[in-house]
Structure 1
Amino acid sequence: MADLPDDAVERAERLTRLAREAVDDDEREKYRNERDSLLAEYEFSARVRNEDKRDVLVLHPDEWTEDGTVRVERIEDTDRAAEIPLDGPGDPEDWDEVDEHNRAVATAVREEHGDVHGANATAFADFMSNHYARPVESATDDEVEEFLSEYFPRNAWPTGRQKEIVEESVELVFERTSSGSR
């Protein structure tokens, strides 16, 4: 059986994050069902495991489970599974790749929406790269609030105009990464 393609892993992660942030049960269920349908195409399943006080999305082949329980004796190659931290810091080993991605998003925002939004997007990219080692689109509501209330005013040295539109700039980052608005 083939591994789960990277784009399916990324989409499953995004749908899981959307489900976690959904405001009502129907919306949560919609995102989970979409994720489960996507994974079923590859005969994979998802579960969220709590590890070291953070949640980790685990995507694994269906053949590893029986009656909803992972059977360790069925696991031949653990590399076939994908594990994605849903909160807390990412893997520092991935920092260069994450930072390159975040800067590319900020550059795209600058090119599409001008220098002020671009400067704000760059500050947000710096924040997510340096403080969480995760892509900008993975930011939780709490992390966005931390950026807006703590990091941005103290570390970005924003102009008055930047302060006025910073929330819109962050929305543009999420729109650019196809993760919708906050």
Structure 2
Amino acid sequence: MPDSELPQEILQETERLTRLARDAIDPGERETYLSARDELVEPYDFVARHREEDDVLVLHPAEWVDDEGTVRPSQIDDVDRGIERPLSGTGEDYEWSAVEEHNAAVVEAVADEHGDDHAANARAFADFLGNHYVRRIETAGAPEVREFVKEYYPRNAWLTAEQRSLLSDSLEFVFDAVDAELPEYE
């Protein structure tokens, strides 16, 4: 896919909005995220959808899709123009070192703004996402945050009682640092 067809920052935000819509409990909230996602890709003449059976964001050039939302194979000129991005697992197009560098900068921002206890929680979350999913913090959806809070953190984060009591606030600060919304995970 040519870089000019769909900029990386648009693709990342489209992924984020799709994850938020996927994880939303309220139908109105889901529709809000989907509408924002569609408005984001429309100027680039793309259509987005979530293929639920394998949890993949699919983006097609608009000219491939008919009015009912069905892809017309006769309209496909170059299959490489289509984009598929896994929304869970390790499907991101990032190397571990790039993810770690990004997430470490987020941890540092939390430390600067909120102190060492919140930074320790942020570091634990960054380690979890980087080592288990090779994912940047802002791409985490409710399933990943829930897994971190319920499974990883109690067994793998050797933090003080004070740090543990601050976890929910720390997660808010982490997502604030990347200008993203903390998914509803409880």
How high is the TM-score relative to the length of structure 2? Answer: 0.85
Cα contact 1:109–1:172 (8 A) shared by 2: yes
**Cα offsets for 1:1-50 (capped at 9, x unmatched):** 95111121122122212222223222211221121112111111001124
Percent identity, aligned pairs only, is 52
1:43 corresponds in structure 2 to: 45
Tell whether 2:64 aligns with 1:64. Answer: yes
Aligned equivalent of 2:89: 88
Distance 1:131 1:157 in 2: 18
Q: 1:93 to 1:181 in 2, by over 3 A?
A: closer
Distance in 2 between residues matched to 1:41 and 1:72, nearest whole Å: 23
Distance in 2 between residues matched to 1:91 and 1:73, nearest whole Å: 30
Q: Is the 8 A contact 2:99 2:136 kept in 1?
A: yes
Displacement of 1:93: 5.9
Superposed CA offset, 1:139-172 (max 9, x none): 2223212212222222221111111111211111
Partner Cα distance (1:151, 1:27) in 2 = 28
TM-score, normalising length: structure 1: 0.87
Q: Is the 8 A contact 2:18 2:50 kept in 1?
A: no
| Structure 1 residue 92 displacement after superposition | 7.8
Q: 1:58 to 1:118 in 2, by over 3 A?
A: same
The equivalent residue for 2:179 is 178
Provide the aligned C-alpha RMSD in A.
Answer: 2.2
- Measured at CA, do residues 29 and 179 of structure 1 come closer, stay the same or move farther in structure 2, by a change above 3 Å? same
Matched, 1:142 2:143: yes
When structure 1 is superposed on structure 2, of 62-71 and 165-174 the one drifting more is 62-71
Q: 1:129 to 1:55 in 2, by over 3 A?
A: same
Moved more, 98-107 or 40-49: 98-107
Structure 1: distance between partners of 2:95 and 2:63: 29
Question: Alignment length, in residue pairs?
Answer: 180
Higher relative contact order, chain-length normalized (CA < 8 Å, sep 6+): 2
CA distance in 2, matches of 1:159, 1:118: 13
Secondary structure of the corresponding residue to residue 134 of structure 1: coil
